[in-house]
């Protein structure tokens, strides 16, 4: 567990230039409860990692007669395979250490899927074969869309509880109660889910959350982005954009975050920015090395 003092020392002074942004919710461009809908960072091309991997694999094949070059290319390829989550998530500012994961390699269950029969009448005669395997392929299965939002919901609660575990002991209980109706709490106001591809059993999913904007003393909402990573495909299966209201259950009305909550979330936001910069530098170094190898 990382002490709060260590978290504070990890603050960064500089700020990276913001990328082009997109709106968080389906009410993009409109006001929500009197405040403009906050934007989220545009993520890099979701296939950038697989494109690099394909580029390296092609280079290994083309340079087969150059052992030194092939060894370097294989080293880069192995690094991508081992650290794909660190690179993919870190480049977007997600903190990927196990203590920050809302769901960590959560097993997809058979019951998470929905199945339906493909209309074989639309297939050409050449496409349809009378063997058992072809008949089984007519049954199409994928993770039910509802499950993705359940993964995000569980991930958000677990993530906030993980953050609470790192705050000062005197504030830990109250911070953890943000996920309860006992005082100042968080209520999901809206969520937008962008489905990237259908996951199937068997697979594992890791869900990461991050703050989209840096809270301040007036913040009565917390804007988050989350991503669900498929370990089978090594890329995002879905993205979530969440608008979470801060609510005082005792007073039965909206309320701003308490000062110590703001401070903790500001530290978290700065750690995200630091992670984004560090990972981007690593990716650029890898790309430069590939260019030097003329891949």
Give the start-to-end residue ranges of the domains of the chain.
Answer: 47-112+139-293
Nearest by Cα to 235 from 68, 15, 53, 5: 53
Residue 3 pLDDT greater than 90, yes or no: no
What 8-state DSSP symbol labels residue 166? T
Is 47-112+139-293 a domain of CATH 3.30.70.590? Answer: no
pLDDT band at 294 (very low <50, low <70, confident <90, very high): confident
pLDDT band at 19 (very low <50, low <70, confident <90, very high): very low
Q: Are 90 and 276 in contact (CB under 8 A)?
A: yes
Q: 0.85 cut: is pTM over it?
A: no
Q: What are phi and psi of 165, to 5 degrees?
A: -70, -15
Q: What are phi and psi of 231, to 5 degrees?
A: -80, -25
Segment 170-219, tens digit of pLDDT: 999 999 999 999 999 999 999 999 999 999 999 999 999 999 999 999 99
Residues 6 or more apart in contact with residue 247 via CB below 8 angstroms: 184, 185, 186, 187, 253, 254, 255
Convert 157-186 to b/e letters by CB count within 10 Å (16 or more is b): ebbbebbbebbeeebeebbbbbbeeeebbb
Segment 258-283, tens digit of pLDDT: 999 999 999 999 999 999 999 999 99
Q: Measured in Å, how far apart are the chain's first and last C-alpha atoms? A: 41
Task: Indicate the length of the chain as a whole number.
Answer: 295
Give bridge partners of residue 184 from the DSSP assignment. 248
Calculate mean pLDDT across residues 64-70.
Answer: 93
Percent pLDDT > 70 in the chain is: 77
Segment 89-127, tens digit of pLDDT: 999 999 999 989 999 999 999 999 998 765 545 545 554
Residue 117's pLDDT is what? 63
What 8-state DSSP symbol labels residue 118? -
The angle formed by the CA atoms of residues 273, 279 and 284, to the nearest 5 degrees, is: 125
Rounded Cα distance, 245 and 262, in Å: 14
DSSP character string of 135-146: HHHTEEEEE-HH
Question: What are 96's two structure tokens?
Answer: 């990927």
Nearest by Cα to 233 from 18, 53, 40, 4: 53
Rounded Cα distance, 30 and 215, in Å: 20
User: Strands 235-248, 184-195: parallel, antiparallel or unpaired by DSSP?
Assistant: antiparallel
* Choice among 70-74, 81-85, 135-139 with the minimum mean pLDDT: 135-139
Residue 119's pLDDT is what? 55
pLDDT band at 7 (very low <50, low <70, confident <90, very high): very low
Provide the 10 A C-beta neighbour count for residue 251: 10
**Burial zone of 289 (CB within 10 Å; 0-12 exposed, 13-18 middle, 19+ buried):** middle
Nearest by Cα to 193 from 223, 160, 226, 221: 226
């Amino acid at each position: 567990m990382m002490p709060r003092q260590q978290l504070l020392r990890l603050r960064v002074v500089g700020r990276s230039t913001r990328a082009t942004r997109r709106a968080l919710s389906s009410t993009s461009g409109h006001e929500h409860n009197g405040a403009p809908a906050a934007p989220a960072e545009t993520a890099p091309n979701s296939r950038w990692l697989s494109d690099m991997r394909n580029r390296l694999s092609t280079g290994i094949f083309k340079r087969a007669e150059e052992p030194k070059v092939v060894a370097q290319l294989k080293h880069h390829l192995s690094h991508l395979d081992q650290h794909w989550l660190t690179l993919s998530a870190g480049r977007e500012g997600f903190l990927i250490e196990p203590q920050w994961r809302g769901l960590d390699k959560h097993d997809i269950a058979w019951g998470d899927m929905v199945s339906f029969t493909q209309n074989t009448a639309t297939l050409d005669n050449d496409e349809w074969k009378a063997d058992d395997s072809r008949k089984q392929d007519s049954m199409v299965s994928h993770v039910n869309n509802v499950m993705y939002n359940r993964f995000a919901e569980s991930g958000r609660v677990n993530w906030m509880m993980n953050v609470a575990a790192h705050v000062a002991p005197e504030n830990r209980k109250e911070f953890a109660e943000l996920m309860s109706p006992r005082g100042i709490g968080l209520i999901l106001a809206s969520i937008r889910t962008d489905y990237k591809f259908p996951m199937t059993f068997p697979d594992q999913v890791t869900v990461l959350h991050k703050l989209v904007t840096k809270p301040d003393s007036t913040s009565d909402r917390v804007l988050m982005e989350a991503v669900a990573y498929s370990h089978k495909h090594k890329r995002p299966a879905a993205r979530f954009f969440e608008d979470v209201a801060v609510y005082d259950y005792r007073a039965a009305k909206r309320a701003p975050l308490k000062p110590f909550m703001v401070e903790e979330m500001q530290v978290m936001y700065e750690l995200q920015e630091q992670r984004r910069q560090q990972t981007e530098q690593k990716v650029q170094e890898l790309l430069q090395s590939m260019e030097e190898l003329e891949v």
